[in-house]
Amino acid sequence: MTGKVYLVGAGPGDPGLLTVKAASLLQAADAVLHDDLVSPEVLKLVSPRAHLSNVGKRCGMQKITQQEINFLMVSLATLGMKVVRLKSGDPLVFGRLGQEIAALRKAGIEFEIVPGITSALGAAASLQIPLTDRCISPAVVLLTGQRADENDPIDWRKFVSSGTTLVIYMPGHRYAEMADRLRAAGASAETLCAIISRATAPDQRTHITSLEQLNRAPQLPSPTLLVVGEVVRFSRDFGSRLPAIHSLFAAAPIRSPEESVA
């Protein structure tokens, strides 16, 4: 009898943020193939009888290729095992999920996706930052600082617009490059930035600065996340200034699109 593969989100690190379904699957799995960034605290929830294997790729270093990961998932499921492919954060966000779905479908293996809390949400919650706000940020865009092809970088101008919050995954320590790309895309020098290192972990560290000063930011331990936009003012360091921000909008009622045209 053929087994089944579960593509599971491990959340950003804090085991308390793992979903109930994910925790249940870790206890019931015959095999768990996990990323490097899955926290040790989450891995402690894996059943001791399960085969546990680190198949992570991090900072350009590969223990195993994606093709080999696909082969492992298919092979273990073919043997009738319940396989958990455990990914940090949410598997649907920057997780190579498309390649694994394609491999499982090609092999005729049944699978299920179990979402998790992505790093953007975990990091923002830890700093008390809403990623959108009806007064100052109507949208949020998730980007990656990694490029599939250095000769064909993504044009960020299409993402940088007035009030939009940007969350940049995997910015590395290339803060000067990040600042240059954001400025070239139209962001102002005064735009606020928050660097969050090891979000939701006990050793989480943060640094808040402006785009103009981003190149001078300390190199915090990986993994890091970069939040860019006015919503950074909601963080604990800027909390006392929020009433002034919202009072500007309180005096001016929001108009419907029809009223604005009229």
Catalytic residue of the set 35, 87, 90, 133: 35
Residue 12 and residue 32: Cα distance in Å, rounded? Answer: 18
106 among known catalytic residues? no
In this structure, what token pair is assigned to residue 183?
């400025």
75 class by beta-carbon count within 10 Å (0-12 exposed, 13-18 middle, 19+ buried)? middle
CB 196 within 8 A of CB 224: yes
35 among known catalytic residues? yes
Catalytic residue of the set 30, 57, 82, 237: 57
Active site residues: 35, 57
